[in-house]
Amino acid sequence: MLAVDTNVMVRFLTGDHPQQSVASRKLIEHEKVWISTTVLLETGWVLKGAYGFDTLTIIQALRKFAGLANVSLENPAMAAQALGLSESGMDYADAFHLASASLTCETMISFDASLRKTAKRLGALSVRAPS
């Protein structure tokens, strides 16, 4: 199995570079690849920031990518939770942070009032301000 970096994944998803996109597609169609959670997180940021894709388009693309026969995710359940939280209105990065924290923690501490409110509304891991 081969670990794939963000730039390979972005080239596969966008097709924006003639040679690199073809190489990415060939690799992912013919080799077993592994995607870390950090690569999923960074890919979302790149697609939004550099390419201007909206969150729902990014989530759909990542779900489709994760469902490819040769693709394995580091933590599929956590990634699914993060994408679901983001799809429901939570900031993309916050959703990944919260889903990751929920694997071993009972509460997340944050100064971000919006995160606390959204997590509560979505029934996600408890988020509170530091005391």
pLDDT tens, position by position, 68-117:
999 999 999 999 999 999 999 999 999 999 999 999 999 999 999 999 99
β-partners of residue 108 are: 127
Helix (H) or strand (E) segment spanning residue 33: strand 33-35
Assess contact for 66 and 83: CB atoms under 8 A. no
Q: What is the CATH number of the domain that holds 21?
A: 3.40.50.1010
Picking from 33, 53, 74, the residue at the C-terminal end of a domain is 74
Model confidence at 127, in pLDDT bands (50, 70, 90)?
A: very high
Query: What pLDDT does 27 receive?
Result: 97
Mean pLDDT value across residues 59-69: 96
What are the helix and strand counts (H, E) for the chain?
7, 5
| Host domain of residue 23 | 1-74
Expressed in percent and rounded to 5, the helix, strand and coil fractions of the chain are: 60, 10, 30
Return the structure tokens found at 83.
């994408």
Assess contact for 83 and 63: CB atoms under 8 A. yes
> What pTM value is reported for the model?
0.89
| The residue type at 70 | N
Picking from 74, 92, 119, the residue at the C-terminal end of a domain is 74
If one counts the domains in the chain, the total is: 2
pLDDT tens, position by position, 5-57:
999 999 999 999 999 999 999 999 999 999 999 999 999 999 999 999 999 99
